[in-house]
Structure 1
């Protein structure tokens, strides 16, 4: 009995590493490490939507805009249509959905603060301040006060 257990152990010791290496290699090949090709219809469609000219951009050839710029412009428009509180809530949600935008949160919140001062004046704009991106909104308000 001891001999059979030893033989099974040796077989597992030889086969198990091979199985683990092969399964790891197969798992890595299924991860999309490289970006999608430029002629991909999904990429082309999203690039077209992101770069389509609107009322705030001059007409002409479509140019690629960074996601942070698109978000900032959308939030400033939202601030103009509604109020800074709504825009700050949308900023927080956008960063929760797409954490890669978090590094731009300070600059976007500061831009929202400046836009709020232009719309409401410094004293009233300060009332909308929230702890989104620390105190960046308040900092944007203070810069124009």
Structure 2
């Protein structure tokens, strides 16, 4: 009589073993993906996540129509920065633009057009020479491009 060290089940390997192997292959992938998504959703900057312009500061607070409430964030930001440019200087507006893009990366695709608008407005308010003195590398050279195009 010989005794096997590895006794065989009646039908070979059962369904529990197949399910176990499938889980052993799939479960690590699911865990890695869910962990990656969880880490990507965390605000790592340390500052509380808030929109560039709080709703209380926009047209809704002044009682404007619902059409004005539906304005795109980049348009609201552009208007705010143009007012900042007139009240203070282009440097302050460019600093706020950079902060807004850093806080809300979805505005990055509109950064150059906003900076060009600021450059054109700076020429109207300060003249080409003074406006050019405020140029800085926010959104590449879009502000300087706006200044140059406004002087032509």
* Pairwise CA distance, 1:3: 4.5
> Are 1:62 and 2:70 counterparts?
no
Alignment equivalent of 1:135, drawn from 135, 141, 148: 141
Q: Point out the structure with the larger helix share.
A: 1
Q: Distance in 2 between matches of 1:99 and 1:71?
A: 13
Q: Structure 2-normalised TM-score?
A: 0.63
Q: 1:49 to 1:16 in 2, by over 3 A?
A: farther
Larger radius of gyration: 2
Calculate the aligned-residue CA RMSD, in Å.
3.3
8 Å CA contact 1:53–1:62 kept in 2: the answer is no
> Are 1:107 and 2:127 counterparts?
no
Unaligned runs of 5+ in 1: 31-45
Unaligned runs of 5+ in 2: 8-12, 39-53
Q: Structure 1-normalised TM-score?
A: 0.66
Correspondence for 1:15: 23
